[in-house]
Structure 1
Amino acid sequence: MSVESRFEEIGILKEIAELLNEGTDTKDVLAGVLNRLLQVTGLQTGWIFLIDESGAFQLAADEALPPALASENKWRMCQGTCWCVNKYNNHQLNKASNIMECKRIEEVIEEKAGETCGLTHHATVPLRAGKERFGILNIGSPNKTHFEKNELALLEAVAYQIGTALKRIKLTQREQETALVAERNRLARDLHDSVNQLLFSLSLTARAGMEMTKNDEIKQTFSYMQDLSQEALGEMRALIWQLRPLGLENGLVSALRSYADMLGLSIETKVTGAANIPGKVEEALWRIGQEALGNCKKHSQATEAFLFFHTSKDGVTMTIKDKGCGFHYEEHLDIPSLGLKNMNSRTAALNGIFQLKSKPGSGTEIQIHIPF
């Protein structure tokens, strides 16, 4: 390697280090690093799978995939199984490794499903930071069936940098979530101490004015003011609850029970299992529970709701149902309201399953299962 080439390689490695040190968006960082890594190695194709604790993978970045793998929105890369992911999940992949052949490419060739551009093999490197694992980096090139030790060593060094950056991004996101919770709590306190108290004072003033006057028209005006202030107080209490649920420190079920009481709903609860729920999951279930109980109050014409909560080491299942008026819904139909769509979106964001059942006259039931 010439001196100029060596300097170019060092420059690209420096770019990779800077990108990993400064980036905050996972997919942008991984795409940029993969592009630079292929430049420095002279290889042509690469992709990165992020793999969660349950073993589920997602294609997070790719570069120059052959047409057979890139076609139809890269569906072959986004589903199915492959040897490298299986080895990773079985804890058999602890360092940079030569993979004999790519299973996805093999299937394409067998099915004659498209052009592979000579790509048959790839190296696989786990992405780690200490004992924490994040996924795998795959690198290949047409007609290349073996990777030398120095090539694997370079890939392993970059993969370790990627793992460290992913850990940093994860910690940064956690700090941002903590700061968001703190800001919500501050705003809830401010609303309670200022706007809430002003509305309460307005209600008392309107009541006093109504008792002091003998003029029927003025009495009616004060009565209307009192009704409006009471309604605004109710809306404000609900908003404060959404920002900072009183009782969540005592558990999610306790908080939802208190929220139902605040809405004027009688709620029956049943809890089974025991496990620590991750904060992100608890937050999502709290928001979903709020929406579901709010729907019971506003739309079901029922005064009772039922909450069933089951936790295990693998995940949590929450069911909320009522015996209200219900509505027509079938699974193949689009979810009918924005609130229900939000519940579904929150569940899907955590790789969960959202189920909705409702019939006119038979009430409504939602069930959420979120793995962890």
Structure 2
Amino acid sequence: MSEWESVLDGLATGVALVGGDGAIRWVNRAGARVLCRPREELVGVAAPFRLESSDAQGLAASWDPGESLCVWQAGSRDPRWLAYTRGADVRIGVEGALISFRDVTEYQQRLRSAAALARTAASMASDSSLEEVLGAMAAEIQRSPGVAGTQIITFGMFGDHLQLMGSAGFAEVTPFFDLLMASQDRGADLITHRSMSERRQQVLPGRRIQMLADPAWQPLHEYVSQLDWEDFVSTPLLSRGKALGALNVYVASGYQATPALLGFLGAMVEQAALAVDYATLIGQERVSARREERRRLARDLHDSVVQHVFSIGMQAKALRGIAGRMDGPLAERVETVAGEVTGLVDYVQRDLRGVVLALQPSVPARLGLLPALNALAEGIERRYDVIVELTVDALVAKDVEGADLSEDVYQIISEALHNAVKHAAPTVVRVDARLDERRVLWIDVVDDGRGVPADVTAGSGFGLTSMRDRASRWGGSVTVTTTEEGSGTRVRAKLPLPYGRTTHRQEGTT
């Protein structure tokens, strides 16, 4: 070994002699360690450092001040970020330039993580919905080197079922849950279940090969093949000892779940958990404010509007009495108008009583869901001269627990019933509530009337918006269609009922 080689070999910083053609001529021991290959294999390999040719010698005459950055790929290992500085041109056996370099991969990842966390914090500070915030987080994670796909899955704001709230990297998102449930029914092992139950990060090298080789995962084979990935990481979202969901990352082929990546994911799930906690708190405050507003409206309607309408009715009856003591055509006209006003007053009073009843908070909480629905049906039959056929699965009455869920179910049915009798003039309205094997509650309200207005069917009606808002809190939906007979209307609500948080039955994860 020559004297200059001995000197450079003793340095802790990587040093490489790079020829005018950009190939490595020699590298010291520290440099070989940074480049993750034996020195003899590096000779002749194209260097990652930028060397701009400016003359016949092939070396740049000038160089940017300070360190520059480049990326080095060593075989199947994760790419490494290198910071390098060009030294003086030398002639040591061969002509070239000495380049000193060091590995700054971890530092670069910390910078990227800090930037991602800052952007995430900014999105949390905005007025965006939880789904928009978690979607932005998934996109930030997706920008990290080595991430092929990202999913953020959390519990519904008011329920215990899981929902896919953020996704990046996948061309399709909608079919994921149905395919996942089909795989689970075939006995597939859901890793997110494990990460949430054990409350710790799960790293599975070679997960893609395992899934594609397992017949239980057959429904998801095509879906997960959208991405070029190998390893899988599931990190639970934790808050005050409870699992709020999970962050799933599909690690790209050629990359590994390095400590830096795992630490970054841990920092991101902390932000995601804060976002979920914040959204849940805001949602609960809004529910509380809405309940209080409903109480106030019910009091105002009862104490003011209902009393005024009652007074109008009394005045109309008095007017009819006066008309009875009058003679001539004017008396007949006065009596006719007074009778019409009396009829209108009766109609308005029926409507107002229904509105006041609907505004009363937590009717099912006081009576129980089934008794509350029976009372609702009887009241509508009495006020509107319509038959209400109520069929409620015994499992529904048993499993719809909690004030929030039972009230939403009650209010969805109440709104659908009132819409039917007000807009469709039916003779019969059938209400059917049943629970399927996956604990999905299906509610059908079907009338034999003339159908609801087109704007209501299209979704512009306030009542339909209210029903959809209530269903969406549980990951559900509401649709309005005409019946198979072509007349009448069907309102169908779908609400996935919560499972206990210890079972995680309805998971949205692999």
SS class of match (1:277): coil
Correspondence for 1:156: 266
Instruction: State the shift of 1:153 in Å.
Output: 2.6
| Mapped partners of 1:104, 1:136: distance in 2 | 22
Correspondence for 1:331: none
Correspondence for 1:239: 355
Identity of aligned residues (%): 18
Amino acid at match of 1:183: E
| Mapped partners of 2:410, 2:290: distance in 1 | 16
Correspondence for 1:87: 191
Correspondence for 2:412: 288
Structure 1 stretches lacking a partner, 5+ long: 329-334
Q: 1:191 aligns with which of 273, 283, 301?
A: 301
Instruction: State the shift of 1:343 in Å.
Output: 10
Bigger mean CA deviation after superposition, 268-277 or 252-261: 268-277
Instruction: State the shift of 1:59 in Å.
Output: 3.6
Tell whether the 8 Å contact from 2:363 to 2:407 is kept in structure 1 after alignment. Answer: no
Correspondence for 2:341: 225
Q: 1:301 aligns with which of 427, 434, 445?
A: 427
**Within-5 A mapping of 1:191-210:** 191-210=301-320
Write out per-residue CA displacement over residues 316-354 of structure 1, whole angstroms, 9 at most, x where no aligned residue: 8687889x96899xxxxxx98979987995786335698
Q: 1:101 aligns with which of 206, 209, 212?
A: 206
| Mapped partners of 1:110, 1:286: distance in 2 | 40
1:32 is aligned to 2:149: no
| Mapped partners of 1:3, 1:319: distance in 2 | 54
Alpha-carbon spacing, 1:17–1:318, altered in 2? closer, same or farther (3 Å): closer
Alpha-carbon spacing, 1:25–1:181, altered in 2? closer, same or farther (3 Å): same
| Mapped partners of 1:222, 1:104: distance in 2 | 82
Correspondence for 2:373: 256
Instruction: State the shift of 1:16 in Å.
Output: 3.0
| Mapped partners of 1:7, 1:288: distance in 2 | 49
Write out per-residue CA displacement over residues 127-157 of structure 1, whole angstroms, 9 at most, x where no aligned residue: 2223332332233453345323343233123
Instruction: State the shift of 1:179 in Å.
Output: 0.8
Correspondence for 1:50: 153
| Mapped partners of 2:343, 2:318: distance in 1 | 13
Alpha-carbon spacing, 1:37–1:191, altered in 2? closer, same or farther (3 Å): same
Q: 1:216 aligns with which of 332, 336, 340?
A: 332
| Mapped partners of 2:173, 2:299: distance in 1 | 49
Alpha-carbon spacing, 1:246–1:142, altered in 2? closer, same or farther (3 Å): closer
| Mapped partners of 1:267, 1:177: distance in 2 | 30
Please give the TM-score of this superposition, normalised by the length of structure 1: 0.72
Q: 1:169 aligns with which of 269, 279, 283?
A: 279
Tell whether the 8 Å contact from 1:188 to 1:244 is kept in structure 2 after alignment. Answer: yes
Larger radius of gyration: 2
| Mapped partners of 2:178, 2:491: distance in 1 | 28
Correspondence for 1:277: 401
**Within-5 A mapping of 1:323-334:** none
Alpha-carbon spacing, 1:79–1:101, altered in 2? closer, same or farther (3 Å): farther
Amino acid at match of 1:132: K
| Mapped partners of 1:357, 1:281: distance in 2 | 27
Alpha-carbon spacing, 1:269–1:228, altered in 2? closer, same or farther (3 Å): closer
Tell whether the 8 Å contact from 1:326 to 1:359 is kept in structure 2 after alignment. Answer: no
SS class of match (2:293): helix
SS class of match (1:147): coil
| Mapped partners of 2:321, 2:192: distance in 1 | 76
| Mapped partners of 1:110, 1:321: distance in 2 | 38
Amino acid at match of 1:282: S
Instruction: State the shift of 1:369 in Å.
Output: 6.9
Instruction: State the shift of 1:211 in Å.
Output: 0.5
Amino acid at match of 1:204: M
CA RMSD of aligned residues (A): 4.8
Instruction: State the shift of 1:176 in Å.
Output: 0.6
Instruction: State the shift of 1:124 in Å.
Output: 2.2
SS class of match (1:62): strand
Correspondence for 1:61: 166
| Mapped partners of 2:111, 2:489: distance in 1 | 66
Tell whether the 8 Å contact from 1:49 to 1:57 is kept in structure 2 after alignment. Answer: no
Alpha-carbon spacing, 1:28–1:3, altered in 2? closer, same or farther (3 Å): same
